[in-house]
Amino acid sequence: MSATTIDTATGPGKLEPSAGRQGTFPDAKRLEYAMTSFLQDLGATAALYLEACVHCGQCAEACHYYVQTGDPKYTPIWKIEPLKKAYKRHVGPFSFFYRLLGLKKAVALAELESWQELIYDSCTMCGRCALVCPMGIDIPSLVLAARHGMQAAGLVPRDLWEPTDRANREGSPLGATKEVLKERIAWVSDEHSVEIPLDRDRADVLVTVSSVEIMKYPTSLAAIAKVMRHVGASWTFRSDGYEATNFGLLAGDRKGQRDATMRLINAAIAVNAKVVILPECGHAYQALRWVGANVYGKALPFRVLHISEFLAQEIRAGRLTLKTDPRSMTFHDPCQVARRGGVSGAPREIFRALGADLREMSRTPGLNWCCGGGGGVITVHHADPLRYRVFHLKMQQVEETGADVLVSSCSNCRLTFDDGQAHFHWDKTAQSLLEIVANNLAETH
């Protein structure tokens, strides 16, 4: 694929060849598939959003990409311009006149290719733009609709598509297959002297895991096992439904997203679980807690809790008791868990139970700056220079607290922090809230 250049007044600039294409179908078909997908997503809610925009620019000031570059192409509402053009030209109330008078030209394939940077590389779907929009426009949902069209056209950045394709083929985006899970469980169980049940036929709680935890932070497996032993829960991992990471959601792959979600739902039903606990992973929470019932087609037959919600619940019930950890800590709220998911109180209940000296970042939790790696951005390596640029905002927020310990409840955020720490030789390492809890369990009698 040759590089495409477009004037920065009307588009994002040069598309790097590494962005990639999927499939071998003709360009005309790519465009047809994209437009069909766009129109499929343009229901009443999306139409209302697209008609409601008053071009006030407030979403720009909320976007870490715009704030750090000052470049208007990073204005969030501009990122869905191809989707908006499709709406105005084909299904909007004045579409006939837009076509007749040429007010909105037809979306071209070259335009979609050039827009990859804005739809994938420079949007974490963090939701700050939606929070400040005076018209209540949920821009991240429109970005996701745009990603659906891009995936249908085979125009997903290669670095993001490869783990998505691996998840579709192997069940895990990072190669954390069933066999790897079993090996890690055996090793962690022996290393930490804790039982980690796998494939029990019946359990009240199905615990899921992120492939990032399996491959990079395996001590989280020991941490959840220690907590579950402490509270006396009936629980299990299941090798037929353990991977909560949903790259289909990030790439815009509807089928991949559905398959990943249904594996968890079916596994929970198989063990007759009353609760499914999602790991420290932001988009995993969005994929099952807020989208799972849509995929399933009816209400889920179990509760869905982020691990921080479960920990807070057990603290309130008196089953989870903790030793005091008086260190000064600051907490990074994962965007998809807190701002998009509404889970901001639970982590703070945990910090209170720990007796920690919690030093909040500015404008937390609602307007907390994104770490810059969400939405699949951390996987897109040609986007690294821009991601490091916006990471400065997060570093500044953390430093201003003066806290000794940085904590988060999302393994993807931790991965982004680790990467930023290595790049900038920063002295802060993000720690897991779950692991802090597991390391401070009170003695049981």
Query: Could you tell me which of 167, 52, 437, 85 has the C-alpha nearest to residue 280?
Result: 437
Q: Which of 15-29, 62-76, 103-117, 326-340 has the lowest mean pLDDT?
A: 15-29
Torsion angles phi and psi, residue 48, rounded to 5: -60, -45
pLDDT at 86: 95
168-202 pLDDT, tens digit per residue, is 999 999 999 999 999 999 999 999 999 999 999 99
Q: Which CATH class is domain 172-315?
A: mainly alpha
In this prediction, residue 17 has a pLDDT band, given cuts at 50, 70 and 90, of: very low
Beta bridge partner(s), residue 430: 406
CATH 3.40.50 describes domain 319-438: yes
| Count of beta carbons in the 10 Å neighbourhood of residue 334 | 32
Average pLDDT of the residues of the chain: 93
pLDDT at 234 over 70: yes
Q: Which of 16-30, 107-121, 365-379 has the lowest mean pLDDT?
A: 16-30
58-101 pLDDT, tens digit per residue, is 999 999 999 999 999 999 999 999 999 999 999 999 999 989 88
pLDDT at 246 over 60: yes
pLDDT at 20: 76
- Helical axes 411-424 vs 384-401, angle rounded to 10°: 100
In this prediction, residue 103 has a pLDDT band, given cuts at 50, 70 and 90, of: confident
The alpha-helical segments, DSSP class H, found in 108-253 are 109-114, 116, 128-132, 139-152, 158-170, 178-192, 211-215, 219-231, 247-251
Buried/exposed code over 52-76 (b: 16+ C-beta within 10 A; e: otherwise): ebeeeebbbebbbbbebeeeebbbb
C-alpha angle with apex 325: 319 to 326, nearest 5 degrees? 135
CATH tag for 17-156 (out of 1.10.1060, 3.40.1000, 1.20.120, 1.20.1440): 1.10.1060
pLDDT at 7 over 90: no
> What is the Cα–Cα distance from 237 to 76, expressed in whole angstroms?
39
pLDDT at 57 over 50: yes
Query: Could you tell me which of 159, 212, 70 has the C-alpha nearest to residue 382?
Result: 159
If you write DSSP's letter for every residue of 183-213 in order, what string do you get? HHHHHHHHHHT----BS-S--SEEE-B-HHH
Over residues 138-142, mean pLDDT: 97
pLDDT at 13: 39
Over residues 393-419, mean pLDDT: 97
161-170 pLDDT, tens digit per residue, is 999 999 999 9
pLDDT at 328 over 50: yes
Residues in the chain: 445
pLDDT at 4: 28
pTM: 0.93
Q: Which of 8-22, 60-74, 212-226, 331-345 has the lowest mean pLDDT?
A: 8-22
Domain ranges (residues) in the chain: 17-156, 172-315, 319-438
pLDDT at 9: 32
* Percent of the chain surpassing pLDDT 90: 91
Task: Provide the pairing of β-strand 328-332 with 357-358.
Answer: parallel
| Higher-pLDDT residue of 333, 5 | 333
Q: Which of 233-242, 339-348, 357-366 has the lowest mean pLDDT?
A: 357-366
pLDDT at 15 over 50: no
> What is the Cα–Cα distance from 398 to 226, expressed in whole angstroms?
29
pLDDT at 12: 40
pLDDT at 443: 86
pLDDT at 18 over 50: no
* Percent of the chain surpassing pLDDT 70: 96
Over residues 292-303, mean pLDDT: 97
What's the DSSP call for residue 242? -
Beta bridge partner(s), residue 432: 408
Yes or no: say if 92 and 98 are a contact pair by the CB < 8 Å rule.
yes
pLDDT at 366 over 90: no
Over residues 411-429, mean pLDDT: 97
Reduced 3-state DSSP string for 73-99 = HHCHHHHHHHHHHHHHHHHCCCHHHHH
